[in-house]
Amino acid sequence: MTILVSKGCDVYTYPCPHDKDESKYYYLKYKPATWEIDKVYIKSTDIVLPTVETGFMFKCVSGGRSDVTTEPVFPTVENETIDDGTVKWKAVPYDALMGFNDIITTSTWQVEEVGTLIDSFSLDNNFLVGFRLYEVPVDATEVTVTNVIVITKPDGKEFTYNRSIKFTIKEL
């Protein structure tokens, strides 16, 4: 997932319906890769589209290597799982960019006009709604993203809170 952020702007990433055949921009471009034969997939970070449409995209829930000869018959029921080589996939709707118990992981957050790359980001058990990133000096080695709006559902009760997240950055 690639997110491009301009200095000093608000970036909203609230999930909304997503057509799997197009790249959409919510200040974020997201289109899952197509499933590949004999490929290593990582739990909680990889989402794929099957080569034959099923009405769902598929989230890796157990990492491993996909089958070396055949694509699995991907399910057509939400949350149903399928084994693929040593990988296990779960059917998720096209509009499920992120949900409860999901983890956001990316290595391609780039701050425009600054030339820095944020190495990693994870947020467990929450929905990320939006955040504000302030100007980052070119020689910075860390950046704190403030006003991160998070919705969480501990014990089934939803509440919203703001927090800050610190990232390590490196030159491109």
Q: Which pLDDT tens digit goes with each residue over 36-70?
A: 999 999 876 688 889 988 888 898 889 899 999 99
**Is the model's pLDDT at 89 over the cut of 90?**
yes
- The CA distance from 107 to 86, in Å, is 24
Beta strands 64-65 and 81-84, pairing class: unpaired
pLDDT in tens, 18-39: 555 555 443 333 567 899 999 9
**Is the model's pLDDT at 109 over the cut of 60?**
no
pLDDT at 74: 95
Beta strands 2-5 and 40-41, pairing class: unpaired
What's the chain's average pLDDT?
62
- The CA distance from 62 to 155, in Å, is 25
Q: Where are the domains of the chain?
A: 2-16+101-171, 24-92
- The CA distance from 172 to 169, in Å, is 9
